[in-house]
Chain A
């Protein structure tokens, strides 16, 4: 398919890999964080790590909205389905996230809750129109990509005068999370995370543009290269980061110029700021409370805010003790460092959120990488 196949060409990948190997200084290490789950997935799926020289190390970041959604927020949606008999509509990724009392939205459905998977927030509004006698709540999650569609649907609900539709808003912001990784006190507690550069988000950046990252490049002297989600995009971005680091530069560069501009999608930004405002603080799985890192629905659209409508209070719920998602989301630990990885915690039965979404670091490693480190022994040589 156009704009996909040509960005997955194996021969070109080998060529870019040779360029990275030639330019990366073997005497030093390049710790590069790919912020997005989309990049984590591409790196695992296409074996990009195998094409990199030992000096270049990829560190997975927290850019998977399903992975960072705290248990307490899923609990709210489950209670709406089970106690308030509301129809809860949400994206498929959210259904299997483990919550309190050994429940997930999918298990709540098995207990009789009316939980429905939707492809688009517009579908949730359609469900509300078809069931005027029921409360319909859309559990909205996602970064800046998914926020403008939610904003449009809330405006549409206002325009059509929907009285039984509301949104449980969990939209979070990328720049706040990157700042948190670079400077929060937990980084010191969980161990030092040496990062030399970032691969910046692909689709998030189509909306917010490349400008918001200029602050990091300047303030923290870390280079950022915005990259598309195809494997060649990621490899080219790695090459661009290696070059910046070799030159001692810390700039924002854009590899994904076919879709990202400096200003981003101004129409989408205007819509989002019309409907949403900043929350003073929001809990992230793995990062804890992060100031000004999420959005809530403005007063003007308050009737469509499920938190106001049902008087919801979020409880903070601790993760399973054995789960290392917190450290993995920060890039401090690797999935293989977690005791329950691949044993108790699998994509079929996830304990932690990083195993739920295919973009989670654990799910990606489970699906594509986990046998890579086991040495290949020829048959007969074992005895």
Chain B
């Protein structure tokens, strides 16, 4: 139910909407719940609405944490 997926914003449209790209599938979604979205940003898409913008730096940091935990254990 709370299923939501990260999608790339491909095009900004009027009325707080955008075209997103999901591995080649293009779809119109609403940006009414988020501010300052730019083309190329990734957003979390849920029932046709972007809920949040993904922070690329934080994603890198989390991946680095995974790698660090794995390294420590090895």
Query: Are A and B interaction partners?
Result: yes
* In the complex, chain B residues whose CB is within 8 Å of the CB of A207: 51-52
Bound form: Cα–Cα A3–B62 in Å: 11
- A12 with B70, Cβ < 8 A, contacts A203-B4, A203-B51 known: yes
User: Is the Cβ of B70 less than 8 Å from the Cβ of A142?
Assistant: no
Q: Nearest chain-B residue to A64 (Cβ)?
A: B1
Bound form: Cα–Cα A155–B35 in Å: 18
User: Is the Cβ of A152 less than 8 Å from the Cβ of B30?
Assistant: yes
- A3 with B33, Cβ < 8 A, contacts A14-B70, A141-B1, A236-B69 known: no
- Give the A-B contact count at a CB cut-off of 8 A: 142
Bound form: Cα–Cα A232–B67 in Å: 11
* In the complex, chain A residues whose CB is within 8 Å of the CB of B63: 6-7
Q: How large is the interface on A (under 10, 10 to 19, 20 to 34, 35 or more residues)?
A: 35 or more
Bound form: Cα–Cα A141–B22 in Å: 26
User: Is the Cβ of B6 less than 8 Å from the Cβ of A146?
Assistant: no
Bound form: Cα–Cα A122–B29 in Å: 10
Chain B CB within 8 A of A37 CB: yes
User: Is the Cβ of A3 less than 8 Å from the Cβ of B51?
Assistant: no
Q: Nearest chain-B residue to A202 (Cβ)?
A: B2
- A1–chain B nearest beta-carbon distance, Å: 5
Bound form: Cα–Cα A6–B67 in Å: 11
Chain B CB within 8 A of A352 CB: no
Out of A22, A66, A119, name the residue touching B47 (CB < 8 Å).
Answer: A119
Q: Nearest chain-A residue to B61 (Cβ)?
A: A257
Bound form: Cα–Cα A332–B29 in Å: 40
Chain B CB within 8 A of A108 CB: no
Chain A contacts to B: CB under 8 angstroms? 1-4, 6-7, 9, 11-12, 14-16, 18-19, 21-22, 36-38, 63-66, 91, 93, 119-123, 141-143, 145-146, 148-149, 152, 201-204, 206-207, 232-233, 236, 239, 255-260, 265, 267-268, 271, 357, 359
